[in-house]
Amino acid sequence: MKTEADSNDTTEHPCDDQPRPYLCTVCDKQFTTKVNLNRHKQIHAGALLFSCTQCEKRFTTQHYLKKHMNVHSSKYNCTECGKCFSSNRHLAVHRRSHSGEKPFGCPVCSKCFTTSSDLVRHSKIHRGEKLYKCLDCDKLFTQLESLSAHMRVHTGDKPYKCSLCDKSFSESGNLQRHKRHVHSNRRPYLCCYCGKRFKDSRQLKRHVHTHTGSKPYSCRHCSDCFTQSGQLKTHLLKSHNEGTWFTCHVCQKKFSRNCNLKEHVRRHKGLKP
């Protein structure tokens, strides 16, 4: 069953100074009023009383159901990619993925984010708040939901299935990217410098660095900086022995990235996809 998360939590207003004395004992989210806390608790209790007549989604309050219905009415529609949203605020946030705008900057490390909620989650790292650690690879997460989604990488669980080719994915975002790359020719992400279009926001982000000359990924061991996170990961592995090599089971050749290993294995199998 698909569910809609409650939005009245600490990620809504990251810069206000309102006291949040009401704590959810299940997920540690804090709220300004007891009413908001009780509404949020309905999510953990599974009390999803309001159903959408157009799809399978259910909601804790009629207010969230009413906002969701805007998706089906196409009231808030992105002119770049056609995606629909429940409110004008969500549409405005989505448009930043096309423009590359990141108005929320971290005062500690100057890293910028598209949404205020992303900045709040990032700030937990600097404040030393409770982090969730993967016991298999020691990767840290600021939210329990993110850790749960990450664990599918180790368990092999792939609940998100493509309706066009039956390929499955561990995360819904990976499924959406797969549909754009494989089953669609649409390129909704536009470079504001040269007009080149991309299928994925991450492709656009990497491309923009070629215009700005910025190298936001810096090595914590030396002074080297890189334009892409993958370049930094390869550098850490080769220069500082930090990370995991991917080994070919046929010829034992080692690779710093799993995608390079997959391309190499095709040579042994004679595949030309």
Residue after which a domain boundary falls, among 66, 82, 98 = 82
Residue after which a domain boundary falls, among 82, 112, 132 = 82
- 22 belongs to a structural domain: yes
- What percent of the chain lies above the pLDDT cut of 70? 86
Task: Kindly tell me if the per-residue pLDDT of 20 is higher than 90.
Answer: no
Residue 264 has a pLDDT of: 92
The residues facing 50 across adjacent strands are 59
- 15 belongs to a structural domain: yes
Do the beta carbons of residue 99 and residue 204 sit within 8 Å?
no
- Strand 104-105, strand 112-113: pairing: antiparallel
Q: Mean pLDDT, to the nearest integer, of 79-95?
A: 78
φ, ψ of residue 50 to 5 degrees: the values are: -110, 115
Residue 44 has a pLDDT of: 66
Q: List Cβ neighbours of 189 (8 Å cut-off, separation of 6 or more).
A: 80, 97, 98, 197, 198, 199, 200, 201, 203, 204
Do the beta carbons of residue 68 and residue 56 sit within 8 Å?
no
Between 110 and 103, the more confident residue is 103
- 259 belongs to a structural domain: yes
Q: Mean pLDDT, to the nearest integer, of 15-32?
A: 73
Q: pLDDT digits over 106-120, tens only?
A: 888 778 888 888 888
pTM for the whole structure: 0.39
- 63 belongs to a structural domain: yes
Do the beta carbons of residue 69 and residue 52 sit within 8 Å?
yes
- What percent of the chain lies above the pLDDT cut of 90? 2
Residue 245 in tokens: 């090599």
- Under the banding of pLDDT at 50, 70 and 90, the label for residue 182 is confident
Q: How many separate domains does the chain show? A: 2
Between 38 and 81, the more confident residue is 38
Q: pLDDT digits over 233-267, tens only?
A: 889 888 888 888 888 999 999 888 888 888 999 99
Do the beta carbons of residue 235 and residue 221 sit within 8 Å?
no
Helix (H, G, I), strand (E, B) or coil at 263: helix
Q: Mean pLDDT, to the nearest integer, of 121-140?
A: 75
- Under the banding of pLDDT at 50, 70 and 90, the label for residue 17 is low
- Strand 254-255, strand 58-59: pairing: unpaired
- 196 belongs to a structural domain: no
Distance CA 24, CA 40 (A): 8
- Work out the mean pLDDT of the chain and round it to a whole number: 78
Q: Mean pLDDT, to the nearest integer, of 17-23?
A: 74
Q: Mean pLDDT, to the nearest integer, of 31-51?
A: 72
Residue 251 has a pLDDT of: 93
- 188 belongs to a structural domain: no
Residue after which a domain boundary falls, among 22, 49, 82 = 82
Do the beta carbons of residue 231 and residue 217 sit within 8 Å?
yes
Q: pLDDT digits over 74-86, tens only?
A: 677 777 776 777 7
- 194 belongs to a structural domain: no
Between 185 and 251, the more confident residue is 251
Among 63-67, 87-91, 104-108, 220-224, where is mean pLDDT lowest?
63-67
Q: What single string gives the DSSP state of each residue in 140-173?
A: EESSHHHHHHHHHHHH----EE-TTT--EESSHH
Residue 47 has a pLDDT of: 54
Task: Kindly tell me if the per-residue pLDDT of 18 is higher than 70.
Answer: no
Total Cβ atoms within 10 A of residue 268: 11
Q: Mean pLDDT, to the nearest integer, of 44-68?
A: 70
Residue 223 belongs to a domain with what CATH number? Answer: 3.30.160.60
Q: What's the length of the chain?
A: 273
Between 77 and 16, the more confident residue is 77
Residue-range definition of the domain harbouring residue 226: 215-269
Nearest to 202 by CA among 244, 230, 236: 230
Instruction: Give the gyration radius of the chain's Cα atoms.
Output: 21
